[in-house]
């Protein structure tokens, strides 16, 4: 159960990481230029949505225009946003927690085995409850299992 839970969390964190890495700033020299969709001046950054679409905002309002990658490209890339950098650090910290909670693999290779074999050993007693708490944030995900509930 612990290793399935750890795999579930690593998958969610990989998604979070992709989202965070896609949180890019618009180049400063382009900020204020007209939006290719509506013509309003563009704010200083864009937020990645799923499937390669970037939302840009105008005048600080969150509901801006969703640009295709082609429309987004001329605005350039001025690096990851502060929020994206913070989200990346958060994901890395959570991945390290998963690593601490997951039971270590123990070699079970027998004398006649032709390949090395491993199985999960005994982990820390608090490993599973910690992973369950981390996974509770993703309880609405379709891969989340009812048996992981606290
Ligand atoms: Zn627009």
Who's near 12: CB < 8 A, 6+ residues apart?
135, 138, 141
Q: Tell me, in angstroms, the distance from the centre of ligand 1 to residue 121's CA.
A: 55
Asked whether residue 30 carries a pLDDT value surpassing 90, the answer given is no
Q: Tell me, in angstroms, the distance from the centre of ligand 1 to residue 21's CA.
A: 23
With CA atoms as reference, report the closest residue to 43 among 26, 20, 67. 26
Let me know: does 135 contact 144? Beta carbons within 8 Å: yes
Q: Tell me, in angstroms, the distance from the centre of ligand 1 to residue 41's CA.
A: 8
Predicted model pTM: 0.68
Asked whether residue 148 carries a pLDDT value surpassing 90, the answer given is yes
Q: How many C-beta neighbours within 10 Å does residue 119 have?
A: 10
Confidence tier at 77 by pLDDT (50, 70, 90): confident
Confidence tier at 92 by pLDDT (50, 70, 90): very high
Asked whether residue 26 carries a pLDDT value surpassing 80, the answer given is no
Asked whether residue 64 carries a pLDDT value surpassing 90, the answer given is no
Confidence tier at 68 by pLDDT (50, 70, 90): confident
Confidence tier at 28 by pLDDT (50, 70, 90): confident
User: What tens digit of pLDDT does each residue of 124-147 get?
Assistant: 899 999 999 999 999 999 999 999
């Amino acid at each position: 159960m612990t290793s399935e839970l750890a795999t579930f969390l690593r998958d969610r964190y990989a998604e979070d990481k992709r989202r965070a890495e896609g949180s890019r700033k618009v180049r400063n020299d382009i900020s204020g230029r007209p939006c290719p969709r509506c013509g309003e001046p563009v704010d200083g950054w864009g937020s990645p949505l799923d499937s390669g679409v970037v939302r840009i905002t105008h005048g600080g309002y969150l509901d801006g225009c969703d640009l295709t990658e082609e429309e987004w490209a001329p605005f350039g890339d001025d690096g990851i946003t502060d929020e994206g950098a913070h989200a990346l650090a958060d994901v890395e910290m959570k991945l390290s927690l998963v690593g601490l909670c997951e039971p270590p693999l123990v070699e079970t290779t027998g004398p006649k085995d032709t390949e090395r074999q491993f199985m999960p050993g005994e982990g820390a007693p608090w490993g599973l409850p910690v992973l369950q708490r981390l996974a509770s944030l993703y309880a609405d995900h379709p891969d989340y299992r009812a048996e992981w509930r606290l």
